[in-house]
Structure 1
Amino acid sequence: MTTSEAQERARASRRESPGSRRGELLAAAAACFDELGYSGTTVELIAARARTSRPTFYAYLRSKDEAFLAVTEQICARLEATQQLDDIESVPPLTVLRATTRAFAEAVFASGSLVSLIDSRAGLDPVVGEVWSTLRHRLNRRYAHYLTGLAPGTIDPCTPPDRLVVMLGDSIIRGAARLGHASAEVREQFIDDQIRMMERCVGIAADAPPRADGAHPDAAVT
């Protein structure tokens, strides 16, 4: 076995061990990428943020690129979780659409500038691009599937659902990412505006103010 192969096996073993240093390194990497951007972040800065050393970083991760990919996968998992609702069939469509719109925007906000950075890196790094495009495809497919499955007359979308969901998703991702470090008041106004736009585009009656929904529950919108 070569030294390189032994290192890879050791990394794999550490990666799967619960409560490993790898999680701390990824949290530090996410903070560095958020604050300094991709080019401004280095392995040394990540290690320092995690209060460890460069050799320890390489014991768990091959490179800055691998750290960014792992952070991307974590962010994607959080965004996908926003399409979760209990008893979806018994929840009014307006409640579902408002709750998922709010949850998705809040998840983007919670990641600071990382979603914007991921969206940008996706065009430069094929591996990040694959992870990001796969997530976007799954989210859009589920959203469109939900809209097309509603009873006739429930909604009157301004354009076919498969195109509409891409437009709505792009609007939230680009807008919320731009406001990643804005004030709570500005973020709330953005969410309200996105909900109202969604209602108009989907063609569903706005029978109550967007903020009346409260927190959303958990299970898949499919």
Structure 2
Amino acid sequence: MTISEAQERARSARKDSAGPRRTELLDAAARCFAEHGYDHTSVETITTRAQVSRATFYAYFSSKDEVFRAITEQVCTQFLDAQLVVNVEATEPIEVIGATTRAFADAVFANGALVALIEHRAGVDPTIGALWSQVRIRLRRRFTAFLEGVEDRGEIDPCAPLWRIVETLSDALLIGASRLADADHDAREQFVADHIAIAERLIGFTR
């Protein structure tokens, strides 16, 4: 086994362990990317923010690209988890819409400028593009499948095909919430309330 192969195996083991040092590096890198953008963030920028050596960085990540992919994976996981905040079998559909809309908006608010940066990198980095596309497709499919069940029970009268409504709502929520990442609490709350009201109208709850 070569030295580089041994280093890569060690990095993989540390990634799987998800220890506190790796988490600290990810948090520092996320702040750097959000503040400075992708091009103006370097490994040195990240290590300075995290107060660690370059050797420590390379013990966990092979490059700036790899740490950005790891951050993207974290954001994607947060977005998927936002759809699981309630038990859909035991919750009224209209309440599910409200709870999941708020949870998804909060996930976007929490990631601020990273969302726009991931959107941009998805267009130039095939790996990021695949990750971002996959999570958005999964989110839409879950939402559509949920609404199809509600429609089958006669509880909604949608104004357009469900897949189109879901596409419109998810894009509007992602873009709108990312623009308000630095807004005050009241502005965020108003956005969420307005988006829920729009969703209810488009979906067409009958009761």
How does the TM-score come out when normalised to structure 2?
0.94
Quote the Cα distance in structure 2 between the aligned partners of 1:8 and 1:85: 36
Comparing 132-141 with 82-91, greater Cα deviation is found at 82-91
Cα distance, 1:162 vs structure 2: 1.4
Comparing 61-70 with 79-88, greater Cα deviation is found at 79-88
Show the counterpart of 1:168.
169
Quote the Cα distance in structure 2 between the aligned partners of 1:85 and 1:26: 25
Q: Deviations over 1:158-179 (max 9, x none)?
A: 2111121111100011111111
Contact conserved, 1:14 with 1:20, CA < 8 A, in 2?
Answer: no
SS in 1 for 2:52: coil
Comparing 7-16 with 180-189, greater Cα deviation is found at 7-16
Quote the Cα distance in structure 1 between the aligned partners of 2:153 and 2:17: 50
**CA pair 196-41 structure 1, distance change in 2 beyond 3 A:** same
SS in 1 for 2:89: helix
Quote the Cα distance in structure 1 between the aligned partners of 2:86 and 2:127: 33
Quote the Cα distance in structure 1 between the aligned partners of 2:86 and 2:178: 27
SS in 2 for 1:58: helix
Q: Deviations over 1:70-123 (max 9, x none)?
A: 000001111111111444223111101111111111110011111121112111
Quote the Cα distance in structure 2 between the aligned partners of 1:144 and 1:187: 25
Show the counterpart of 2:52.
52
Contact conserved, 1:109 with 1:176, CA < 8 A, in 2?
Answer: yes
Aligned residues: 206
**CA pair 86-189 structure 1, distance change in 2 beyond 3 A:** closer
Show the counterpart of 1:195.
196
- Relative contact order, CA 8 A, sep 6+: which one is greater? 1
Contact conserved, 1:116 with 1:173, CA < 8 A, in 2?
Answer: no
Identity across matched positions, percent? 52
Show the counterpart of 1:212.
none
Structure 2: 5+ residue runs without aligned partners?
none
Contact conserved, 2:157 with 2:203, CA < 8 A, in 1?
Answer: yes
Show the counterpart of 2:41.
41
Cα distance, 1:18 vs structure 2: 4.9
Comparing 14-23 with 101-110, greater Cα deviation is found at 14-23
Contact conserved, 2:157 with 2:204, CA < 8 A, in 1?
Answer: yes
SS in 2 for 1:40: coil
Quote the Cα distance in structure 2 between the aligned partners of 1:102 and 1:162: 20
Contact conserved, 2:109 with 2:177, CA < 8 A, in 1?
Answer: yes
Contact conserved, 2:44 with 2:54, CA < 8 A, in 1?
Answer: yes
Cα distance, 1:153 vs structure 2: 2.9
Q: Which runs of 4+ in 1 moved over 3 A?
A: none
The answer to whether the aligner puts 1:148 opposite 2:186 as a matched pair is no
Structure 1: 5+ residue runs without aligned partners?
208-222
Contact conserved, 1:108 with 1:177, CA < 8 A, in 2?
Answer: yes
Q: Deviations over 1:17-40 (max 9, x none)?
A: 352422111111111111111112
When the two chains are superposed, the root-mean-square deviation of aligned CA atoms in Å is 1.5
Quote the Cα distance in structure 2 between the aligned partners of 1:157 and 1:138: 21
Contact conserved, 2:85 with 2:103, CA < 8 A, in 1?
Answer: no
Quote the Cα distance in structure 2 between the aligned partners of 1:99 and 1:48: 39
